[in-house]
Amino acid sequence: MAISDEQVHHVAMLARLGLTDEQLAALSGELNDILVQVDRISALDLTDVEPTAHAVAVSNVTRPDEITPGLSQQDALLNAPEQQDGAFLIPRFGG
């Protein structure tokens, strides 16, 4: 299956891409190369191959979720420019 220059030009127009003739020719060639590879992959016998989401095994690498002590209210407000009744005081905004 090949893609024509007219099809590439049409898709480029839909995407609002202003391509020169040289860019259009290069893109047509690249897209045809991609389609050749897709055809090669489609021709493979994959009946005994189990579908996977990743080519290699993936495991979660995040740290375990453990409860740790947080800042005390006093420490949290230590560098606050303004505070009132144990809370940050910010300027009023909006309506």
pLDDT score recorded for residue 72 = 93
Please report, for the chain, how many H helices and E strands are present, in that order: 3, 2
Q: How sure is the predictor about 2, in pLDDT bands with cuts at 50, 70 and 90? A: confident
List of residues 6+ apart from 46 with CB closer than 8 A: none
pTM: 0.50
Mapped onto helix, strand or coil, the DSSP state of residue 16 is coil
Mean pLDDT of the chain: 90
User: Averaged over 25-45, what is the pLDDT?
Assistant: 93
Confirm or reject CATH 2.40.50 for domain 5-42, answering yes or no. no
**Domain map of the chain by residue range?**
5-42
Cα separation, 25 vs 85, in Å, equals 70
Q: What is the pLDDT of residues 41-66, one digit of tens each?
A: 999 998 998 888 888 888 888 888 89
List of residues 6+ apart from 39 with CB closer than 8 A: 1
